[in-house]
Amino acid sequence: MSTAVDILFNSLVLGGVFLIVAIGLNIIYGLSRVMNLAHGSLYALGAYASVTLMSFGANFFVALIIAPFMVAFIGLVLERTIIAPVRKRSIVYTLILTYGLMFLLDGLIRYVWGNEPKFVKLPLFLQDTLPILGTHYPVYRLATLVIIAATMAGLMLFLGKTRTGITLRAASTIPEMVACLGINMKLVHIGAFVLGCGMAGIAGVVAGPLYSVDPTMGHEMLISSFVVIVIGGLGSLRGAVFAALLIGLVQTLAEFFITDLAMVIVYMLMAVILAFMPRGLLGEGRFE
């Protein structure tokens, strides 16, 4: 019984991390038509940034606040220097560009931090376990759920209640109209990319203590987050939540039952959905 509860919570945690990453990807694509293949690498940068910050003495929570801003800043620089010039060209070029960016950032991570996995030291009170529903569950993981929920709530508030947020949402559905209203599309594009990177950064910091911080974490997260947006449907929030939780569950179960086939099945599912149900399982997305 306790294993089932563990699996359930682990799925929620993993799903939650996928969700934040996938939403970041969705925001960038929905608002600036750029499929950011470097998104996984930015997630990894978030984790590595938090490691470095903490090695300078910052505690976990400080790192949790600062690292995402650092990743967001990197996103700003990237957007202005290399993304913006290519966005107007055909989608093939933006894909190749962000693909190259992925290798650049991953290579950079290896260059700066080396190939060995890093460990994140958590504050003592987070290292404990809490008895819940018949099992002793790590406090940190519960804290993760809280952080993720808070991030989602913050994002919903931002998009729903602030003027900037509402403008961004409008820009994703009717970009031409937004441009007509005199809203600076350049700022929308920048904002989207920065916001998306920030989300990736948060996910990276949160995931650091959960899974290992190593140079391949970006690749793995990228593949998983693609599966999430394909299954959930590009541009659909409900779809992203549903798909993130689903993939979180599938991957947790796969790890538990130790099967190599798991990834192949996941890829096949993604391929089938992409080809036959481009609007995602819930039919709410819009892959063109």
Partner 1 sequence: MVGKILALGIVVLCLAVFPFVVENRFYVSLINQMLIYGLLAMSLDVLLGYTGLLSFMHNAYLGTGAYMVGLFLLHVAPSSLWITLLVGVMGTIILALPVGWVQVRTGGLAFALLTLAFGMMFFTVAWKWYTVTGGDDGLMGVPHPDISLFGWVLGSTGDPVAIYLLTLVVVLLCFLLTWRIVNSPFGAILEAIRENEDRASFVGINVRRFKLMGWLLACGLAGVSGGLFILWRGYIGPTTMSAFAGAGVLMMVLLGGMGSLWGPFVGAGIFILMQDYISTMTEHWELFVGMVVILLVLFMPRGFAGIGDRLARLGRERQ
Binding site for partner 1 (CB under 8 A): 35, 82, 85-86, 89, 91-93, 95-97, 99-108, 110-111, 219, 223, 226, 230, 260, 263-264, 267-268, 270-272, 274-276, 278, 287-288
CA 114 – CA 99 distance, rounded (Å): 21
**Are residues 231 and 274 in contact, defined by beta-carbon separation less than 8 angstroms?**
no
Question: 151 or 251, CB closer to partner 1?
Answer: 251
Q: Cβ of residue 39: shortest distance to partner 1, in angstroms? A: 13
Q: How many CB atoms lie within 10 A of CB 256?
A: 13
Q: Which two tokens stand for residue 81?
A: 């220097």
Q: Cβ of residue 238: shortest distance to partner 1, in angstroms? A: 21
Q: Cβ of residue 137: shortest distance to partner 1, in angstroms? A: 32
Question: 257 or 276, CB closer to partner 1?
Answer: 276
Question: 153 or 268, CB closer to partner 1?
Answer: 268
Question: 187 or 264, CB closer to partner 1?
Answer: 264
Q: Cβ of residue 237: shortest distance to partner 1, in angstroms? A: 20
Using alpha carbons only, give the angle 211, 216, 218 rounded to the nearest 5 degrees: 80
Question: 77 or 271, CB closer to partner 1?
Answer: 271
Question: 18 or 226, CB closer to partner 1?
Answer: 226
Q: Cβ of residue 271: shortest distance to partner 1, in angstroms? A: 4
Question: 90 or 180, CB closer to partner 1?
Answer: 90
Q: Cβ of residue 135: shortest distance to partner 1, in angstroms? A: 32
Q: Cβ of residue 181: shortest distance to partner 1, in angstroms? A: 28
